[in-house]
Structure 1
Amino acid sequence: MFSFYLFPISYAFLTFPIAAVLFTLPFLIVQYRKYGYVHFYRALLLYLFLLYMMNAVFLIILPLPPSIHNAPPAVESYAQWIPFHFLEDILKETAVVADQPRTYLHLLKERAFLQVFFNVLLTVPFGIFLRYYFRTSWVKCLLFSIGLSLFFEITQVTGLYGIYDYPYRLFDVDDIMMNTAGGMIGYVAAEWLSSLLPKIESLDDKVDLAAKRVTYTRRGLAFLFDWFVMSPILAILAVLNVPLPYAAGVVLYFIVLPYFTNGQTLGKWIVRIRLTGKSDKITLYELFVRYGLLYLFVGGLNQLYIRAGIENLPDILMVIATFAMFLFNAWFAIHVLRCVFNRNRQLFYEKKSGTRHVIK
């Protein structure tokens, strides 16, 4: 019986790294937008919640039938609507004798009892997370627990929403009752657990966002969002035959726009940071020096190299240009890595422009 549950749990742990990677981007955005930074303890709890939910879902869908064209279950109905029917199953299968206490331990080996026990246990962590981390009321916990259990049962009775020809597990109202009971037990247990753990509502009490360093991870996300926006802009400028579309796009998006938004691009707005210079209001000169060096100088040289390749320059010139660009980009990559691993170093375009990132 226990091996039946270990199989889906092992799959949940094996696939968790993939889910964690997919979860990281929306997690970071929400944390930056809502709190202004990422708290390690909050992150730990949310990733544990993700791992728990994966285990719960895998437990209700695995093991899968060998084929999507599975045979119909040998039952009269795909649903069991009689409340507390599990008591009849336990009484039918049990070797427990009411007036012989030593037989009570037999329950721990009997399928009907263990099925009920694990259905309760399945959602206990759900109730704990709802109360401790998400700070829900008991009414919301009750409704969410019922909703989660309904999701489980509907997933099963529909054969994974039509992927399989027939249900390979049945809808059972007792399962909904036990899952809901588990959620509420977890809600009650969370009150005791909360006294042993840090209070979620107090995690940010002593945090000074103005003194926090803007990490390269955060800046990297802003960079990716900005260039996701810039790519179609550059394509449109090229289609419209705007002279020097790359330079025009950089000036408009990274210099003109941040000047009017006081240091913010769309990417920086998403991760809740902005640029500042010698004063709180960033100047056109500071923006021009910063992004002129980064995108017009570093990026511009790479653009010229690509253009040279497109225009089929003589082979000897392309060999020289390729070697020169390799050395230049290698120097820039090493420079960035040194700044990433040494907090006291500044990127050269930040040092020359006197600009830096702050949390907005």
Structure 2
Amino acid sequence: MQFYVRVLTQAMFIYPLIVLIVTIPYVIYNYFKYGSVWSIRIFVVYSFILYMLCVYCLVILPLPSAQEAAKLHGHKRELEALQFIPKIFQQVHIEKDDPRTWINLLKSPAFMTNLLNVFMTIPFGMYLHYYFKKGVIKTTIYSFFLSLFFELTQLSGLYFIYKGSYRLFAVDDLIFNTMGGFLGFFIVWPFMAFLPSREEIDATSYERGKSISLPRRLISLMIDLGLLGVVVWALRQFGIFISRVEFYGIVVLAYFSILPIFTRGRTIGKFLTKTRIRGKKKARALPWYSYFLRYGSLELIVFWIPNLLFYAMLYLAEREGVQDSVQFVLLCLLSGVYILYFFLAAIKVLMKKRLFYERWSKTKIVSTVEWDEEDEEE
């Protein structure tokens, strides 16, 4: 039991790293497919990731020490089915005429190992049936291939990292892992009456995707600025350096103002989050200068004016000999006003109100999510 606790504890330490790696791609995928990220879907998917990580750690851990690895050679395998039965009778004493000794069958290591193999893949079958909407045949087949992947991982010595296998490849493991997935398909069935169905989860996600949330706008912005950052980095590798002023004054403004003219109001970030810029009136085509007015006014308030005030403050402080303490107070005041603006802007977005640059340019961000329930098949 201590072995399993130790392995699962190691999996829990690895899990946050896995979450960190997959979160942004998974969030982008959800916005691209559904236009929203719903907590119930997040819980189901991330619990599935945690389950798969725990099972994988049970398969590969503990790793052999350097001394043990040096002695590994060959690939151990047991290709005959139901070899656990003779092992049970070798491990425990059974008397045919004494039913009290029959309970020893349940205490044998061979029996417990195969029972755990069944339990190990029951959740897999439950997830496949409930969330991934697989039938009993596909669930059984996928459970078999999952077990085969685990067994080949062991047979290959962790993908040939080690010279030989440090775990036994056994046909019995394939049988009982597959059985676990098969049973999981039926075990989850009664609970599905109380859980939201996959169709209900999808329908709610699409419904939420019709509105534009603050995280959705931020993810879109992060994608666009991240791509521009990669472009600037690539240019630097070729000796082309772009200053901060050139980046915001030319690159950012051109990207956000020119690209949408040819893509019906979309940037790459907006395309991936299923949003676009549209005029105040739906039927009216958005003139090209609206994009420049929208993002030019935003840059003016968010970047140019704060920077001009900051450098003006430094210039006057140096020229007039203002004390450091006064400079610090002025800097805190300027930073406070800057932070307050973003705080108020976030509140307005949460209240579904248009921001100043949207009113000035008579534009707004709308969702492009479309859902055809008949086409929704996993």
**Fold equivalence (TM over 0.5):** yes
Question: Which residue in 1 is equivalent to 2:270?
Answer: 268
- Cα distance in 2 for partners of 1:300, 1:325 equals 16
1:111 is aligned to: 109
Match of residue 284, structure 1, among 284, 288, 301 = 288
Q: What is the CA–CA distance in structure 1 between the aligned matches of 2:63 and 2:242, rounded to whole Å?
A: 56
Aligned to 1:40: 39
Partner of 1:142: 140
**Counterpart for residue 158 of structure 2:** 160
- Which stretch has the larger CA shift, 215-224 or 128-137? 215-224
Secondary structure of 1:37's aligned partner: coil
The aligned counterpart of 2:298 is 294
Answer yes or no: is the 8 Å Cα contact 2:38–2:205 preserved in 1: no
Name whichever of 282-291 and 106-115 sits farther off: 282-291
Verify the 8 A CA contact 1:210 1:359 in the aligned structure 2.
Answer: no
Q: 8 Å contact 2:81–2:172 — kept in the other structure?
A: yes
Deviation at 1:99, TM superposition (A): 4.4
Question: Which has the higher relative contact order, 1 or 2, with Cα contacts under 8 A spaced 6 or more apart?
Answer: 2
Distance 2:246 2:2 in 1: 65
Q: Percent same amino acid among aligned pairs?
A: 32
Distance 1:146 1:34, change over 3 A: same
CA distance in 2, matches of 1:83, 1:139: 22
Give the secondary-structure state (helix, strand or coil) at the position aligned to 1:83: coil
Shift of 1:189: 2.0
Whether 1:357 and 2:361 are equivalent positions in the alignment is no
8 Å contact kept, 2:121–2:178: yes
Task: Compare 292-301 and 5-14 and name the one that shifted more.
Answer: 292-301
Would you say the 8 A contact 1:69–1:165 is kept in 2? Answer: no
Name which of 258, 261, 268 aligns with 2:260.
258
Partner of 2:16: 17
> Matched residues in 2 for 1:142 and 1:246: separation?
55
The aligned counterpart of 2:171 is 173
Aligned residue type for 1:356: K
Please name the residue that 1:200 is paired with.
Answer: 198
Q: Is the 8 A contact 2:139 2:185 kept in 1?
A: yes
341, 345, 353: which one pairs with 1:339?
345
Deviation of 1:358 (Å): 2.2
In the alignment, the residues of structure 2 paired with residue 34 and residue 304 of structure 1 have an alpha-carbon distance, to the nearest angstrom, of 41
For residues 246 and 109 of structure 1, what CA distance do their matches in structure 2 show?
Answer: 70
CA distance in 1, matches of 2:54, 2:136: 24
TM-score, normalised to structure 1, is 0.83
Write the distance in 2 (CA, Å) between the matches of 1:306 and 1:65: 60
**Which residue pairs with 2:61 in the alignment?**
62
Q: Against the structure 1 CA distance between its residues 305 and 148, is the aligned structure 2 distance closer, same or farther, given a 3 Å change threshold?
A: farther
Contact kept? 2:69, 2:162, Cα under 8 Å: yes
Total equivalences in the alignment? 355
Once the 2 structures are TM-superposed, how far is the Cα of residue 244 of structure 1 from its aligned partner? 5.0
Q: Following the alignment from structure 1 to structure 2, what is the Cα–Cα distance between the partners of residues 307 and 232?
A: 28
Q: In 2 relative to 1, CA 240–28 (structure 1 residues): closer, same or farther, beyond 3 Å?
A: closer
* Cα shift readout 1:149-171 (whole Å, capped 9, x = no counterpart): 11111212222213333322121
Q: What per-residue deviation string (whole Å, max 9, x for no partner) do you get for residues 278-317 of structure 1? A: 1234443432232112335533467889999xxxx99937
Rounded Cα–Cα distance in structure 2 between residues aligned with 1:244 and 1:77: 61
> Where does structure 1 lack aligned partners over 5 or more consecutive residues?
none
What is the rounded CA distance, in whole Å, between the counterparts of 1:321 and 1:290 in structure 2?
A: 33
Q: With the length of structure 2 as denominator, give the TM-score of the two structures.
A: 0.80
Q: CA deviation at 1:254?
A: 0.6
Structure 1 CA distance for aligned equivalents of residues 141 and 49 of structure 2: 20
Query: What whole-Å deviation, never above 9, does each CA across 1:105-145 have from its counterpart, x for those lacking one?
Result: 33443211110100111111111111111011233222211
Report if the CA contact (8 A) 1:78-1:171 is conserved: yes
Aligned residue identity for 1:252: A
CA RMSD of aligned residues (A): 3.6
Report the 3-state secondary structure (helix = DSSP H, G, I; strand = E; otherwise coil) of the residue aligned with 2:166. coil
Would the alpha carbon gap of residues 270 and 247 (structure 1) be closer, same or farther in structure 2, given more than 3 Å must change? same
